[in-house]
Amino acid sequence: MGIETEYGVLAPGRPAANPMLLSSQVVTTYRALVARAGARPAARWDYDDEDPLADARGFHLPRAAAHPSQLTDDPSRPAPAGPLPAARVAGPGAGPADEPEDPSAANCILTNGARLYVDHAHPEYSSPEVTGPRDAVLWDVAGERVMLAASRELAALPGAAGHGVVLYKNNVDGKGASYGTHENYLVDRALPFGVLADLLTAFLVTRQVFSGSGRVGVGPTGDTPGFQMSQRADYIEAEVGLETTLRRPIVNTRDEPHADRTRWRRLHLILGDANLFEVATYLKLGTTSLVLWVLEHLDDLADAGVPARAALAALRLADPVADVQRVSRDLDLDSKLDLADGRTMTALEVQGAYADVVGQALLAIGPEPEADVETHRVLDRWRSLLARLDTAPESCAREVEWIAKRRLLEGLRRRDGLDWDHPRLHALDLQWSDVRPERSIYHRLLAAGAVERLVDERAVADAVHHPPTDTRAYFRGEVMARYADQVSAASWDSVIFDVRGAAALQRVPMLDPLRGTRAHIGQLLDDCADAAALLRGLRGGDTA
C-alpha cells in the first residue's frame, strides 16, 4: 500500500503567483537541498510503463477522448487539474497556471523510495510502497517533513525574504477546487474488478466516520455555512470511473498496476481525505486492506462456511454517491442510509457489519494473532473506535480528526459568537493543515498532547532518508543513495542505469513489489562499490 498527497500551495501576498512555478520551485529546491547533503536524486521519471487510460472494466479509453487532466504519462505536457479556471487549481490564493519552462525537471526520486514531483499544479509526495498501515503512517508523515524542509529552504533563498511558499496538507482551496490524497493497494488480479467495486463501495462511503479530516463549509465552493466530516465528499460525483479530477468516482477504475499485470492490479482510491491524525491514516489504510483481503478470499471463506459474499452484498447502498455527502454531513452519526434491499442502516452500523465480516474471516482462515499482530490490532482498534463513536464520540477526539477540529471550532464559535460562515473559521480550517509547526493548529494540539501518535520523530526523521526494508522500495531507495550518479531514470517498477563504458542504458525491472527487499538484495548492495558491479551481481544470480 502507499499514499500520494498533493499539497495545497500558496504564496502569501502574491495572489497572481504561478502555481505550476511555485510547485516546481518546491521540488527543485528540495532536490538541491538533498544534493548538498551528498545525495543526487535523479531528475527523470521513467514514463514508459505508465498507461493512465487503461480501464479496469476491460477497455482502453482513446487518447483523443480523454480529458487533458488524465494524460499524466506525458512529462512535456503537465496535466491541468480539471474543468475549473486555472486560477483555482493549485490551492489557496493561486494565480494563473502557466506551465514552467521545464516541468519534467521538477521531479526527484528520493533515497527513501518516494517520488517528489509536480502533479496538477501541486507539489506531490508519493510515498514508497509498504506492507502495513503503521509503515504507511510513518512514510506519510515523512512526506510532511520533506515538504516542510522544502518550504523552509525556499523561504531562506536570497531574494526570497517575505516571498516564501506555504504548503498545506489539505484537500480544498475554499474557492471550488479540490486536490487529492490517493491511496494505492496491491490486489490479486484474480478478484474480478466488478466484484471488488460492488462489495467495497458501501465501506468506502461510510469509513469517513473515522477517516474524515473535517471541513468548514458545505458544497464545492463552501458557500453554504456549516461543518462536515470530509473535505473530499462534495467532489465525489460517480460510483465508478476513470477520471480523477472531474466526475470523481467512489471507486477509480485506472488499471495501471505498476507491477506484473497478470498477477496484480493496483486499486487507486481518490475519495479519501489528507489526514494529519496518525490514527485516522492508520485505520483508513488498515481497514481498507482488511476488506480487500476478505474480497480476495471469498471462495475460501465460502468453503470454510463463512457467507462473506452474501453478507457484504446485503450492505449495498441504494444511492451511494448521494450517501457520500449524506454521511459527511451526519455529525450526530445517526442518519439512516437506504440500502438496495429496502432496509436502512447508519454509517456506523454499516462499518460495524464490515468489521464483523472481517472478524469472522480472520477466525476462519486468517493468521493467528501472534503470527500477524498488526492485522489483529487494526481490527481491535476499528471495533473499539466504532463502539466509542456510537456512545461517546467526543471521547474519540485524540484519534478522529474531524471530531477534534469541530470541537476546537465550536469552542471558538461559542466564545466569540461566530456563525459557521465567519471568515475566521475558514482561516482556522486552513491553518489547521499548515505544514509549519509554529503556524499549524494541528501541531499545537500535538505539542499539547491532545493527539495520539503512532510513530515517533526519530523514526520519522529516519524515514525521510531511508526506505522501508520489506518491499522493492528498498532497492529503489538504496540505489538512489548509493549510485545516483549512475541512474538515468526510475519508476515504481524499474530502474534504468547509465553505467560508464556500457554500450547502452540498462533497465532493471521490478515487477514484483515484494522482491528487492533488504533480505533479498541487501548483501549484494553492500558488496557492490558501483552500479556496474551491482548489475553483474544481478545477472549472476536469481535476484532481479
Residues with catalytic roles: 119
Pairing state of beta strands 248-252 and 236-241?
parallel
Q: What is the residue whose three cell numbers read 487494526? A: 378
> Of the candidates 8, 4, 405, which has an alpha carbon nearest to the alpha carbon of residue 173?
8
CA 505, distance to chain mean position in Å, is 32
Q: H-helix or E-strand containing 380?
A: helix 373-391
* Phi/psi at 219 (5° precision): 95, 160
For residues 32 and 40, give the distance between their C-alpha atoms in angstroms, rounded to a whole number: 8
For residues 463 and 469, give the distance between their C-alpha atoms in angstroms, rounded to a whole number: 11
Q: List residues bridging with 3 in a β-sheet.
A: 183
**Helix intervals (H) in 207-275:** 208-211
Q: List residues bridging with 494 in a β-sheet.
A: 491, 509
- Taking each continuous run of H as one helix and of E as one strand, the counts in the chain are 17, 19
HSE toward the beta carbon, residue 248, CA cutoff 13 A: 24
Residues whose CB is less than 8 angstroms from the CB of residue 249 and which lie 6 or more positions away in sequence, other chains included: 236, 237, 238, 239, 240, 241, 243, 270, 271
> HEC states along 300-314?
HHHHCCCCHHHHHHC
Residues whose CB is less than 8 angstroms from the CB of residue 11 and which lie 6 or more positions away in sequence, other chains included: 17, 22, 93, 163, 164, 165, 166
Residues whose CB is less than 8 angstroms from the CB of residue 13 and which lie 6 or more positions away in sequence, other chains included: 162, 163
For residues 254 and 433, give the distance between their C-alpha atoms in angstroms, rounded to a whole number: 29
**C-beta of residue 108 within 8 angstroms of C-beta of residue 484:** no
C-alpha cell at 81: 487539474
For residues 29 and 288, give the distance between their C-alpha atoms in angstroms, rounded to a whole number: 35
